[in-house]
Amino acid sequence: TMNVEHEISLLVEEIRRLGTKNADGQVSVKFGVLFADEKCANLFEALVGTLKAAKRRKIIAYQGELLLQGVHDNVDIMLLQD
């Protein structure tokens, strides 16, 4: 089985690497940026699944339930904890 905690910690690192801080000091990244990134593509077998798991654990937040490439490229994924 995949280690979900490990996947989530990798996801947090990638959001920090690719994202930008907003006025509140929260880091956010567009789903499209994350999805299109070559390193992320190689790291995550199921990026959307990892995002959902992280959202359930209140580590990240984004609008909607399921993110789809293309359709949701402009959705912001916010890092809730540092």
Residue 48, pLDDT score: 93
Residue 45, pLDDT score: 86
Span 48-81, pLDDT tens digits: 999 999 999 999 999 998 899 999 999 999 999 7
Q: Quickly tell me which residue has 């959202």 as its tokens.
A: 55
Q: At CA 76, angle to CA 75 and CA 81, rounded to 5? A: 145
| Type and span of the H or E element at 78 | strand 76-79
* Other Cβ atoms closer than 10 A to 48: 15
pLDDT at 82 over 70: no
CATH number for the domain running over 4-79: 1.10.10.1540
E strand residue ranges, 3-50: 20-21, 27-30
Span 1-31, pLDDT tens digits: 558 999 999 999 999 999 999 888 999 999 9
Strands 76-79 and 60-61: antiparallel
